[in-house]
């Protein structure tokens, strides 16, 4: 159930990870996971894709939204600042 009380269906892979969600209107949001179960991308019902980029320690270092806007975490800003 979502906060409004409507039924939401989770679709799981063989490992039990949530790879898709179908809302009460039947709209499907798909999640793309890597081998470490990190969310690489989400694809919504109209095909918009948002994605995450990780560092070697599995920290999200940047996110790209459906409009291709990049949001960097503070760790990237700090690295960029210290390398100037």
**How many separate domains does the chain show?**
1
Would you say residue 62 lies in a domain? yes
DSSP state of 74: H
Is 21 inside any structural domain?
yes
DSSP string, 9-72: EEEE-TTS-EEEEE-TT--EEEEEE-TT--EEEEE-TT--EEEEEE-TTS-EEEEE-TT--EEE
74 pLDDT tier (thresholds 50, 70, 90)? low
Indicate whether 44 belongs to any domain: yes
Instruction: List the structure tokens of 20.
Output: 């898709």
The tens digit of pLDDT for each residue in 15-56 reads 999 999 999 899 999 999 999 999 999 999 999 999 999 988
Decide if 73 is inside a domain. yes
The separation between the first and the last C-alpha atoms of the chain, rounded to the nearest angstrom, is 49
DSSP secondary-structure letter at 5?
S
Domain assignment present for 38: yes
Instruction: Indicate the pTM of the whole model.
Output: 0.73
Domain containing residue 20: 9-82
Does residue 4 fall inside a structural domain? no
Classified as helix, coil or strand, 6 is coil
**Considering the domain boundaries, does residue 24 fall inside one?**
yes
């Amino acid at each position: 159930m979502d906060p409004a009380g409507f039924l939401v269906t989770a679709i799981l892979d063989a490992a039990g990870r949530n790879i898709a969600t179908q809302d009460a209107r039947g709209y499907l949001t798909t999640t793309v996971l890597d081998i470490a179960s990190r969310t690489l991308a989400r694809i919504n019902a109209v095909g918009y894709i948002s994605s995450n980029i990780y560092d070697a320690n599995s920290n999200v270092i940047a996110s790209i939204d459906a409009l291709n806007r990049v949001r960097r975490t503070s760790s990237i800003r700090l690295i960029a600042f210290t390398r100037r």
